[in-house]
Structure 1
């Protein structure tokens, strides 16, 4: 691909496909690609929700369904636990109870970080394609490093990313732009020369704050938000579409 005008349709009009491609403001392909983890590359909801339910059971509370728990994922593991305690997004949990619950969650999730977690369709092909093109690829997640690295290793993904930035590696995490700026600086690139690929408002806000183009996937953990309306540069139905557009 030489440039965005020749390569990117402004809007897909094919009624057999729901994938929407919007014109980006920078030439593509980007010189470096930054991926979110949960909800973008990996469907980790079954293991995350199971650990939450183990916490709730330890506290004599009722378990939640996978469908409900899936909507709470985003903004880091501790916030997920807090939402489980609250039964939703509103309010704040008692600090002492939250610390106790989060300690339990860490133990339960560490013991089962990759039992049912799976790669989304097209992820492996996309990463292999980028690797063959010698594109720098990073993973930036709000997941604590104690969980990120074991999960990547369990799914044989760790060799794709340099660097891997977890939620506790820097002073700030997404939606702050610091992790994305850190990666682009490590690559010797401007943020605008890179591309963020994620599934949530945190990914979008972090990218927009540093002038980085951002693609959102429709299948991830968007907490019920309308992905189409968030203002991403592109919205994709699957990671298989990423390979079609960027190769």
Structure 2
């Protein structure tokens, strides 16, 4: 088997457990707009397509009377303000993830983070939790003409910043968005069952290789293409 030489990771639900802080900021912003709170499971399922989509779903998903655009914008701005101040309150790497990334680096594997989360939060979280570790870190930046996942743009930009070598590339994530991203990039995909989507959901989304723990993911990544 050919070894993997470049691993591109999703962030939320893959490397970091960010759910508690996302839920807290969502419900803070909803409360400010006098809207009902969302449950943990709802927030979990609303993630994956970026902060704006998270807020649009939180405000309007299954609501009998959808809110107007100005309400969505107000909730979005309040979420950003609150999350910028509180994104580190409870967020932490999943057990074994720090060791996984360290072992990949020591094996000479290039590692990157590509996330639909707002770039300001991605940069802060990765620098705080994995200082100096990743070869490229990229959050949502559609204003620069880089489409967010599942479009292939963000992964392609990360590859360019790391030298452009596509051979040996694998994408690692925890959701249907990540499965679709790997398909659009044309690379292998490994799906993590410990994140924001359970195994059955991943299977229905088309995941072909699912790992249940960072130690298992490490074995697969260092063994090579599956």
* TM-score for the superposition, normalised by structure 2: 0.89
After superposition, the CA RMSD in angstroms is 2.3
The CA distance in 2 between the partners of 1:92 and 1:139, in whole Å, is 34
Matching residue of 2:194: 219
> Post-superposition shift, 1:223?
8.3
The CA distance in 1 between the partners of 2:94 and 2:192, in whole Å, is 11
1:183 aligns with 2:154: no
> Post-superposition shift, 1:57?
0.9
The CA distance in 2 between the partners of 1:116 and 1:90, in whole Å, is 33
Matching residue of 1:14: none
* SS of residue paired to 1:143: strand
* SS of residue paired to 2:172: strand
Structure 2 residue ranges without an equivalent (≥5):
none
Which has the larger Rg?
1
2:176–2:205 CA contact under 8 A, matched in 1: yes
The CA distance in 2 between the partners of 1:89 and 1:45, in whole Å, is 22
> Post-superposition shift, 1:89?
9.5
1:42 to 12, 16, 22: 16
Q: CA 1:68–1:230 in 2, change beyond 3 Å: closer, same or farther?
A: closer
Q: CA 1:198–1:91 in 2, change beyond 3 Å: closer, same or farther?
A: farther
1:38–1:44 CA contact under 8 A, matched in 2: yes
Aligned length: 220
Q: CA 1:203–1:194 in 2, change beyond 3 Å: closer, same or farther?
A: same
Matching residue of 1:75: 49
Q: CA 1:91–1:180 in 2, change beyond 3 Å: closer, same or farther?
A: farther
Q: CA 1:31–1:88 in 2, change beyond 3 Å: closer, same or farther?
A: farther
The CA distance in 2 between the partners of 1:133 and 1:92, in whole Å, is 51
1:30–1:193 CA contact under 8 A, matched in 2: yes
Deviation larger for 215-224 or 196-205? 215-224
Matching residue of 1:209: 184
The CA distance in 2 between the partners of 1:159 and 1:41, in whole Å, is 15
2:174–2:193 CA contact under 8 A, matched in 1: yes
The CA distance in 1 between the partners of 2:84 and 2:181, in whole Å, is 27
1:149 to 123, 128, 136: 123
1:161 aligns with 2:134: yes
Q: CA 1:90–1:163 in 2, change beyond 3 Å: closer, same or farther?
A: farther
> Post-superposition shift, 1:115?
0.5
> Post-superposition shift, 1:110?
0.7
Q: CA 1:116–1:49 in 2, change beyond 3 Å: closer, same or farther?
A: same
1:64 to 35, 38, 41: 38
1:125 to 90, 94, 99: 99
> Post-superposition shift, 1:200?
1.2
Q: CA 1:181–1:195 in 2, change beyond 3 Å: closer, same or farther?
A: same
The CA distance in 2 between the partners of 1:162 and 1:89, in whole Å, is 42
The CA distance in 2 between the partners of 1:121 and 1:245, in whole Å, is 17
Matching residue of 1:24: none
Structure 1 residue ranges without an equivalent (≥5):
4-26
The CA distance in 2 between the partners of 1:104 and 1:131, in whole Å, is 38
